[in-house]
Structure 1
Amino acid sequence: MRGISAKSLDEVLAAVGAVTSGLGDLGGELFGVVAVLDQNPVLRRVLTDPSTESPARAGLAQQVFGPRVSPDAARIVEIAATGRWASGRDMSDGLELAGVTALVAAADAAGELSAVETELFEVGRLVRSDAELRQTVSDRALPVAAKTQLLVDLLGDKVTGTTLALTSQAVAARTGSFERALAAFAETAAARGNRLLAEVRVATALDAGEEERLAAALAAKYGRDIHLNIVIDPAVIGGITVSVAGEVVDGSMSTRLEIARRRLAG
């Protein structure tokens, strides 16, 4: 988010950072506010209309949302309404990120941040591996509530509450596909821990020592702690493939064999 929207977003996120309790509930409430704004474009336009005085916009936000959410959530929505946004959509996107940030902070406080990062990655893999499931969660013609319930039934108590809440929000696919939203939420979680995410593909599982050494080597290279998402992929044959920070290091045997085959073929 750039321009005038970036400053307003910073103010909203700072307000989230000032909240010290009930962050999980706060995240869910902010997602609810975003859903209302998405369904009511006229309200969204009024709340971001620069020709309307800030106190009037704040008053409207309080009138609409105050009775429906906690004081902390109402205050954050008021701050958003008094900000300057390049578009009404930017405000909704900012409040969604505020909800994600609140949930991630709750997971961090509970010592579950690393688990959430891994779970979001695994949920993304699960959806990609099942064509029918992927088509269902990506179908914009289906009600969001129905898709959310499907994931709740599927994931149940297999993941943390934070992961379930973030996955359910990703189904709305407000800023792209379900998978893109899920990846963005995982990046927010990683940023909370000042980490980068690395996808590691190997033919067989790494032991704890190997994982530690790999994480340390990547941390030294990128200057940040690294969260490893390990994928067991028999197609790798041997060696390892690592994707991190937009870079792919492919040291797999399958790739080396393919390169040799091409050279022999001329």
Structure 2
Amino acid sequence: MSSATRQSNAAARERLEALTDSGQADAAALAADLLAVTSVLDREVGLRRVLTDPAVEGQRKADLARSLFGGKIGADSLDLFSGVVRSRWSNSRDLVDGTEQLAAYAEVIGADKAGALDEVEDELFRFGRVVASSNELRSALTDSVASSAAKAGLVQSLLGGKAKPATTALVTSLVTQPRGRSLEGGLEDFSRLAAARRGRVVALVTVAVPLSDAQKDRLAGSLARLVGRPVHLNIEVDPSVLGGVRVQVGDEVIEGTIAGRLDSARQGLAG
């Protein structure tokens, strides 16, 4: 990601936070509007090229956005997107990605303000585990032939009334507008976005048996001291690891399971 796109994404998030912190805008409504804009930008290559053309003045881009989306999305959403297109983007795809990420971040903010962000993080992780364990479900959610309405209906049947509204909305957006992302990758992106809202990192912890609350607290504290930031634990129980703990934070893996040590020992003997 170029510095121009990074700066534009950061500026867009700051504007979104200011808008929602003021209490004047509904985060879920903003998310829905921005997702609708994303869909249009994804289809209309010429439009997104004009909106990211460095030779076109920022105000002209904002005026074009208002003429196209005025009356179709809310006033707050229109103001927010007008600011987005005034910024510099390295290429037209970055504008689409940035708008989509802004929609997801609006859902995260709404969950945070409702005091439900921890639950949303956990629900996204658990849903990912369910999908990973069922090839049939994964195929149904990623079927390129199935309509968006059918896939949205499937998500609603799985999560509606059982998960937080933000969780359902995020998963629905992912299966109806994957835009080249894998289902697993999209869910991980959402989890990182939710953790970033709290200034945290996500650690995937694999254990043989469930951890007690005290053990979770001790592990989270130890990892926080190690990485220098608060840590949100996503815990997966896998009896095949036999014992110990395996922790993955980003690309870093701390292997402390019995199965892992046995594998290392076998490799050593084989060498």
Do they fold alike, i.e. is TM over 0.5?
Answer: yes
Match of 1:112 in 2: 116
Residue in structure 2 matched with residue 125 of structure 1 by the alignment: 129
Q: Deviations over 1:76-128 (max 9, x none)?
A: 11112222222221111111111111111111111111111111111111111
Q: Tell me how far 1:219 sits from its aligned partner.
A: 0.9
1:75 and 2:76 matched: no
Matched, 1:137 2:141: yes
Separation in structure 2 between the aligned mates of residue 153 and residue 145 of structure 1, nearest angstrom:
12
CA distance in 2 between partners of 1:91 and 1:265 (Å): 51
Compute the TM-score of the two structures, normalised by the length of structure 2: 0.91
* Greater shift in the superposed pair: 249-258 or 202-211: 249-258
**2-structure distance, mates of 1:138, 1:94:** 23
Report the 3-state secondary structure (helix = DSSP H, G, I; strand = E; otherwise coil) of the residue aligned with 1:157.
coil
Q: Which residue of 2 aligns with 1:19?
A: 19
Q: 1:166, CA displacement in angstroms? A: 1.0
Unaligned stretches of 5+ residues in structure 1: none
Q: How does 1:61-210 map to 2 (within 5 A)?
A: 61-171=65-175, 172-174=177-179, 176-210=181-215
Q: Alpha-carbon deviations, 1:170-215, whole Å to 9, x = none?
A: 2222252121111111101101111111111111111111111111
**Helix, strand or coil for the counterpart of 1:111?**
coil
Shift of 1:236: 1.1
In 1, Cα distance between the equivalents of 2:92 and 2:268? Answer: 55
Name the SS of the counterpart of 2:210 in structure 1: coil
CA contact (8 A) 1:175 1:181 kept: no
Partner of 1:213 in structure 2? 218
Question: How many pairs were matched up?
Answer: 266
Change (3 A) 1:46 1:264: closer
Amino acid at match of 2:198: G
Q: Which region of structure 1 is more displaced relative to structure 2, 90-99 or 134-143?
A: 134-143
TM-score (norm 1): 0.93
The Cα RMSD (Å) is 1.8
Identity in percent: 40
Select the residue among 246, 250, 257 that pairs with 2:255.
250
SS in 2 for 1:19: helix
Deviations 1:128-163 (A, max 9, x none): 111122223233343333222211211222211111
Residue 47 of structure 2: SS of its match in structure 1? helix
Is the CA contact 1:27–1:103 (under 8 Å) kept in the aligned structure 2? yes
Contact 1:137–1:147 (8 Å) recurs in 2 = yes
* CA distance 1:3–1:244, change in 2 (3 Å): closer
Measure, in 1, the Cα distance between the counterparts of 2:264 and 2:105.
44
For residues 23 and 81 of structure 1, what CA distance do their matches in structure 2 show? 20
| Cα deviation, residue 52, structure 1 | 2.9
Q: Determine the C-alpha separation between the residues in 2 that align with 1:67 and 1:6.
A: 30
Which one-letter code corresponds to 2:183 in the other structure?
Answer: F
Q: How does 1:3-42 map to 2 (within 5 A)?
A: 3-20=3-20, 21=23, 22-42=26-46
Gaps of 5+ in 2: none
CA distance in 1, matches of 2:207, 2:3: 42
